[in-house]
Amino acid sequence: MSAEFVLWLFAVSIGASALGGMLGMAGGIFIVPILTMLGHVEIHTAIGASIVSVIACSCSSASSYLGEGLTNIRLAIVLEVATTLGALTGVLMAGIIPFRDCAGCIRAADAGEENELAEAPPPAGSRGWSETLGLDSSYLDRASGGSVN
């Protein structure tokens, strides 16, 4: 890898991350097309770089959200564990189940979601998952001066 390419990659990464941060998305949405079309990087490598970009963007913004009390730590830990387990399961299953079968399962699950969305909302007195698991939270809204659940 030449020094010129490394400098170009560094500049593109900073620009994509800055633009992604300003727009409220991770810079990965810009990094993959730039790397594949302009940098002639293989798509799988570009996607890996995108994932690293998303993680870096999330980690850099986490401290400010924690400082302002906008982060629900208990919910974050539950989601982190579930996401990690899902990713590991996906990686292990990708080597076992052919892609064609995986795509069929995703389509079947997607079709089932349409029926779930049409269901009636739970009764007013019932407890939701977040309340049952103690994951519900609130934060102080500076503009209104009140608490938002």
Q: Which residues of the chain have pLDDT under 50?
A: none
For residue 44 the two structure tokens come to 């799988």
**pTM of the predicted model as reported, rounded to 2 decimal places:** 0.49
Contact (CB, 8 A) for 54 and 29: no
Give tens-digit pLDDT for 12-37: 878 887 787 777 666 677 888 888 88
Longest pairwise C-alpha distance within the chain: 64
Residues ≥6 apart with Cβ < 8 Å to 27: 13, 16, 17, 18, 19, 20, 21, 53, 54, 57
Domain boundaries, the chain: 1-70, 72-114
